[in-house]
Structure 1
């Protein structure tokens, strides 16, 4: 369980009274740490850690690990060299010497001005607001808070529209006014209306090669192993989702390297051929000598959008399938595990994409050397095109933004898409930009879910050390021998079966989502066609109606996009109702 609520104020008495009122409003929450002018609350069942910064400069909420260490930090945090160090210097030191799943709340050197820093992985969400003369930093915005501690809220309709047009917008700013979301790697002032300062940027690692290729590649493997070791609970069984694909297999191999026992693998399969990867999961489990549990993914018929998907500050597609969530929790409980490891994010970190943009990156990196016949032939073969088509594609797309997929029935708002802070300045590196856009989209894995409230979800491939090691490597090396995730395949080839290392196909859940949509049309049609997104003109109703026609789905697909829109629709309805109940509102709906 990863929720928290931090309260900061000038006087100890003011904070103490606020904490008493907050704890009285919800008996499942209680203070877990407090000091001069601050306190942190969390659910009583939570294992949330709180570490004070030296010189009473603030706190670190969440898990913190020293670089290179194989377990959680045991001693004090030494991120402040002097009591006068600025908040920027403190957070730069945290990024340099530590990593984890944390939010740091830092006071200014003069004991004034609270600032929130979200760690570069973004695994712990962070929103800030001011109310009742206090500063709040939290993972979400609980609806049980007293009105005195709540911000004045309104829906940010233009941003909701952007969320419909671009899924990556869901993991950046919020569709709410009155609260401020902190991006991963950003330092945000809570009291003042100041723009966030980016302390950590992925661009810093692009195009900077300080090691020989072999050493840099070994660093990537070491980062995976060390990160998995640090996250692993030493005394409890561990459950890992083993899809049968490469990324989850690598995480399973890393777990086997750091743990001799207490490991369990779980494979979910669908009845359609492309959704049944049990053969590959069995090969991995046999090679690593890990017991494998197999379960058919329960069929899902939607009659409503689950609360977990809409009640947090961000819509959560990951929480849509309540049957899967409950089944996963039951499997974990059955083996005594409170941690679940996944290979989520590996497609981006290890670079799975087939794209001519790799050639553009190589031209930026080594100049005309990128035009070597052997390199061109490998890249063209990987993309399934001729060398001439590769060159043409690189020239045509080299200066264009790669963009994110949009919903076919969404109405354009006519506005220029806003660049995420992580993608600025990458004009010469479009393939790296594609990788970083994938990392941005992967933030959706950290949104609120029922399973995340009950268990410790671990996504080691998206941890800061692994991401940094992958960003330092040129895409041409990540796609070694012209293969998607070619370097990752070579780094773990000794531990994994050849069926997975040499596999060129990838499993698909498309048929499962198609069944979900077609079996749920009785709910989805009125939910979307007569919903708020349609009423506000954000979706083209005729195109949406066509997308919901089963006879058209066979040819057009798009079922996952329909479900994304359904979750956003539910989220918008929930928050419009909540804003309407608020004592004060910034603005009425348009």
Structure 2
């Protein structure tokens, strides 16, 4: 605990206590790095010009506070990557800015917060609302890339929006070599910056492309020491990637430790324990694995882990018909002469004319982002999209989905059993990588008609051919499906007799026939079930934590 000024103090906990940095009138709390090649905004008569340039010149994992007259808090800023959660609320003369609201604080202050059932329903249906407004009425969530003035009743001002960065992709594209260089530089910058925050780190290597990109950057940075390379393999053939991990280790001169993916029985206690935070604990559902890795890092004396998570969405893992639609919207019939079009059609097992038909249909029907809909969630009559997705009409479906992927990147920073003891760092979710990829058109990101084609091309001289040219992808679906099937005795009453059903958010009569081994084996729906289980735990935890409505 330390004083920021005579009227403000900073309290921290966890494996990596944040630093503070004064930048003009702002005090930035967290990890802050200088951008290697910032693109500064140029807007005349912009009242937020200084703040826009601040988030362009610096990147990291930080919250900023600004003090005004008499050392009183006047504004809050949150970095564009959203790596640190940030909420604020006022309690009489006290204003609290926090990344969490632990039990002891809520019990002490007894704030008059309430669960917002409408937003709860929306967030269950819309996967891109997991990092949007809180599901609680009371505290104010500061969105990434915004400035929140005081008092908190004043609307926040957006100073960074992924759509603004994505508009650069509408300009004439750079050359393939320049685009590849921008991707390499951004990943190197993010990896080196985050890995250098503290002493020796551990690094996850799965055998897939994204963690391999991170590993290649780690091994090329002389200032970074990786004391443990860790890889988990599943019990099914498609989840066992040890062959690729071995090839990667030989090429990079590293020796990954391959360990079985830990599993364990679910209980109601751990389902609720997973969702104690400000948002449902979607990052903490693989609890046995998290606890196993936390113990392994603890034994190794390490408190930080580098991952490759987030690469799928921002590097464009989905090389689908939507990529051609983006190209069609930009070039019309000239899109047929693009060299990657035949390969893209072959990868999707459709004809070029089928892709043309889909592209022309998009102009009539507009954007449609995926929703969760397995037949047992009760739809809300007024669906609300995240603000970042409200201004995407000028983009094609692949670029829009990439922008939505930035929201997914924000949610990856959420708490879990692993983050309670280890500082988990996601360089693919960092601002340099986000901005470099958003600024490029999707057909360029899928160079060669391949998923993450540009990243493959950019790192072709750093990674073994087996990784670059790999067609398959590690798949844990059956592992997680088995986890749900083996725990139906816990999940059925948890959901059918739970609070989501009582609040009218989940239809128990529709869920009942789905929550059987026969139905799940035949239909799937595993991901929606486990997400609903996390939301159920969150509701139970917060209903117990908050005072009754009549108090």
Q: Given the two structures, how large is their TM-score scaled by the length of structure 1?
A: 0.86
Change (3 A) 1:133 1:174: same
Task: Find the partner of 2:59 among 71, 83, 99.
Answer: 99
Determine the structure 2 residue equivalent to 1:42: 12
| Deviation by residue 1:157-214 (Cα, 9 ceiling, x = unmatched) | 1011112111222211111011111111122234142332211011112242477323
Verify the 8 A CA contact 1:207 1:474 in the aligned structure 2: no
Instruction: Look up the match of 1:382.
Output: 347
1:103 is displaced (CA, Å) by 0.8
The one of 163, 169, 176 equivalent to 2:123 is 163
Aligned to 1:406: 372
Partner of 2:313: 348
Of 5, 8, 33, 1:65 maps to 33
The answer for the alignment partner of 2:260 in structure 1 is 296
Q: How does 1:305-320 map to 2 (within 5 A)?
A: 305-306=269-270, 308-320=273-285
Deviation at 1:46? Answer: 4.4
Matched, 1:457 2:427: no
For the 8 Å contact 1:125–1:139, the answer to whether it is kept is: yes
CA distance in 2, matches of 1:357, 1:264: 39
Deviations 1:134-171 (A, max 9, x none): 22111011221276745321111101111211122221
Aligned-residue CA RMSD (Å): 2.4
Q: Deviations over 1:263-311 (max 9, x none)?
A: 4321111111111111111111111011110111122210125355211
- Alignment-derived partner of residue 216 in structure 1: 179
How many angstroms apart in 2 are the aligned matches of 1:305 and 1:343? 30
Written as runs of structure 1 = structure 2, the 5 A alignment for 1:48-447 is 48-54=18-24, 57-68=25-36, 88-107=48-67, 114-145=74-105, 149=109, 151-208=111-168, 209=171, 212-213=174-175, 214-233=177-196, 236-259=199-222, 262-306=226-270, 308-372=273-337, 374-398=339-363, 399-429=365-395, 430-447=397-414
Alignment partner, residue 4 of structure 1: none
- The whole-number CA distance in structure 2 between the counterparts of 1:109 and 1:250 is 48
Higher relative contact order (CA 8 A, sep 6+): 2
Mapped pair 1:514 → 2:481? yes
Q: Give the aligned partner of residue 532 of structure 1.
A: 499
Unaligned runs of 5+ in 1: 1-30, 70-78, 80-84
1:471 to 419, 430, 438: 438
Deviation of 1:456 after TM superposition, in Å, equals: 1.4
- Determine the structure 1 residue equivalent to 2:466: 499
1:72 corresponding residue in structure 2:
none
Distance in 2 (alpha carbons) for counterparts of 1:508 and 1:229: 28
Normalised to the residue count of structure 2, the TM-score between the two structures is 0.92
CA contact (8 A) 1:250 1:492 kept: yes
| Equivalent residue pairs, number | 538
Verify the 8 A CA contact 2:87 2:142 in the aligned structure 1: yes
Residue equivalent to 2:2: 32
**1:416 to partner: Cα distance:** 3.8
What's the secondary structure of 1:351's corresponding residue? coil
- The more displaced of 380-389 and 145-154 is 145-154
1:580 aligns with 2:540: no
Given that 1:316 and 1:444 are in contact with CA atoms closer than 8 Å, whether structure 2 keeps it comes out as no
1:237 deviates by 2.8
Structure 1 residues 334 and 152, CA, compared in 2 at 3 Å: closer, same or farther? same
Question: 1-side partners of 2:34 and 2:109: how far apart?
Answer: 35
Q: Which residue of 2 aligns with 1:484?
A: 451
Inter-partner Cα distance in structure 1 for 2:499 and 2:355: 44
Is the contact between residue 165 and residue 410 of structure 1 (CA under 8 Å) also seen in structure 2? no
**Does the 8 A contact of 2:165 with 2:435 survive in 1?**
yes
**Structure 2: gaps spanning 5 or more residues:** none
C-alpha deviation, 1:121, in angstroms? 0.5
